[in-house]
Structure 1
Amino acid sequence: MQAQQLNVDTIANNLANVNTTGFKKARVSFSDLVAKDPARAASSQVDGDAGLISQGLRLGSGVGIANLSKLFDMGDLKKTDSPLDVTVQGDGFLEVLMPDGSSAYTRGGTLKVNKDGQLATLAGYALKPGITVPEDTQALVLQPDGRVQARAANQASATDIGKIDLVRFASPQGLLAEGDNLYRSSSASGEAISVRAGEDGAGSLAQGYLEGSNVKMVEEMVNLMVAQRTYEANVKIVQAADEILGLVNGLRR
């Protein structure tokens, strides 16, 4: 029941984030628990009973959580035409600077210029490496290769002001979700590998687009119904076992 409850909670969280930019759905994997030898258990309790049970029979003892992982397949692109919206069209992540000086990683490409004049996420975390936008900037251009260009009102063409680098991970499923569309590296994900946009499978940048959640509403609703029915079945099994034990106790009286 605990395993199925976690499954229901995970699916519910997926559905709640169906419209969250760059959200990656999670999946629960199950495994059976250690099998028990009923013949050995019977022989340790009452002599002679073990012979009534097949020596090759092993009974399962339930189900456990094998893994809770994120699925990083890409969501659908949504055209916004905003110059501060950007999508990574590949496996790469944007790297941001956290208040404690550490790095976090995101697929959410809704950017803004923070109070320090730097390109940052919507939550205010500056991109790494830092890119300062001049105050007189009238137009901002994010090139597919990561170059960031700014054009002032009195300029005919844009000039480079920085470059957005991307990072990749050997096993992104091992990343730790931190909230605010952020992830942290772990021993399971491996260390961040810096790459240039458009190279090594990291993907190029697309200005004016956002990556939608990769949650599929119908698929998650079906999964939720199956998980709920499984949970209900487990409840009924527990209730039936309780009723049988009640009858046995009544017979002993």
Structure 2
Amino acid sequence: MLPALWVSKTGLQAQDLNLTTISNNLANVSTTGFKRDRAEFQDLLYQIKRQPGAQSTADTELPSGLQVGTGVRIVGTQKNFTAGSLQTTDQPLDLAVNGHGFFQITQPDGTIAYTRDGTFHLDSTGQIVTSSGMALNPAIVVPSNAQTFTVGTDGTVSITVPGSAAAQVIGNLQIADFVNPGGLQSMGSNLYLETASSGAPQAGTPGLNGLGTTLQNTLENSNVSTVEELVNMITTQRAYEMNSKVISTADSMLQYVTQNL
């Protein structure tokens, strides 16, 4: 019975981590550009008491053997980068990527981070920055006398100023994509970092080479489905209860042995 206790203990730990993942998804149901996580389970090592295929006699072999499992663990969490729904806003600095790609953000140390959150603002110098004050890359500065601010689907940023009817191009947005977006490192603040697993970023003009287009006055909502997460939460709760029941059953069996033998 003791092995059953330890196997069930691993099940409880795995389901607890699974519930943490689900709760994080639900907590970020309103986070702009958030991508849900999915916990991935893996069975632990097996104790091979009789090797499958071993010779039982000189002319016969074991068809299956005897293999005893030792439990389960969560081996990783997989980001789901399916697109969230697009929400139209009345803010000209609200941007969204319609398709593949990430906005590039310059961090205080000079390295580049990546985000799907297009909630941008202007700082005191007119530079386009994130809600945390980090600059968009390539840097774009909007003059203080700009009357209108327009971002095209190809990333072209233009303004109009008093006394001129023609629009002036002040910059071009670029977005980056990865061979394996699921390999990006989540660092909070709606930002991701490049890793060896994600591959090198492939930056380019929106709408070209498979990259998505940029949409102005638009934000991408979280791709979390509350109904799906609630169903997953119920399933996790029942799995946790079943593992708890195994521990209770094993304890009852041990109690019987100690009291009657």
The verdict on a shared fold, with TM-score over 0.5 as the criterion, is yes
How far apart, CA to CA, are the structure 2 residues paired with 1:59 and 1:21? 46
Q: How does 1:1-253 map to 2 (within 5 A)?
A: 1-38=12-49, 56-252=65-261
Distance 1:245 1:216, change over 3 A: same
Deviation by residue 1:86-125 (Cα, 9 ceiling, x = unmatched): 1101111000010111110000011111223211112211
Q: Secondary structure at the match of 2:150?
A: strand
Identity of aligned residues (%): 43
Q: Hey, what does 2:54 align to over in structure 1?
A: none
How far apart, CA to CA, are the structure 2 residues paired with 1:55 and 1:102? 54
1:209 is matched by which residue type in structure 2?
Answer: T
Deviation by residue 1:148-170 (Cα, 9 ceiling, x = unmatched): 11112332132111111010101
CA contact (8 A) 2:123 2:133 kept: yes
How does the TM-score come out when normalised to structure 2?
A: 0.88
How does the TM-score come out when normalised to structure 1?
A: 0.90
Q: Secondary structure at the match of 2:46?
A: coil
Q: Secondary structure at the match of 2:143?
A: coil
Deviation at 1:39, TM superposition (A): 5.0
Deviation at 1:194, TM superposition (A): 1.1
CA RMSD of aligned residues (A): 1.7
Deviation at 1:66, TM superposition (A): 2.6
2:90 is matched by which residue type in structure 1?
Answer: D
CA contact (8 A) 1:137 1:152 kept: yes
How far apart, CA to CA, are the structure 2 residues paired with 1:150 and 1:5? 52
CA contact (8 A) 2:49 2:65 kept: no
1:228 is matched by which residue type in structure 2?
Answer: Q
How far apart, CA to CA, are the structure 2 residues paired with 1:16 and 1:155? 48
Q: Which moved more, 1:15-24 or 1:154-163?
A: 154-163
How far apart, CA to CA, are the structure 2 residues paired with 1:109 and 1:118? 15
Q: Secondary structure at the match of 2:166?
A: coil
Q: Secondary structure at the match of 2:68?
A: coil
Deviation at 1:128, TM superposition (A): 0.7
CA contact (8 A) 1:114 1:126 kept: no
Deviation by residue 1:129-180 (Cα, 9 ceiling, x = unmatched): 1111111112100011011111123321321111110101010001111111
Following superposition, which runs of at least 4 residues in structure 1 exceed 6 angstroms of deviation? none
1:241 is matched by which residue type in structure 2?
Answer: A
2:127 is matched by which residue type in structure 1?
Answer: Q
How far apart, CA to CA, are the structure 1 residues paired with 2:108 and 2:123? 14
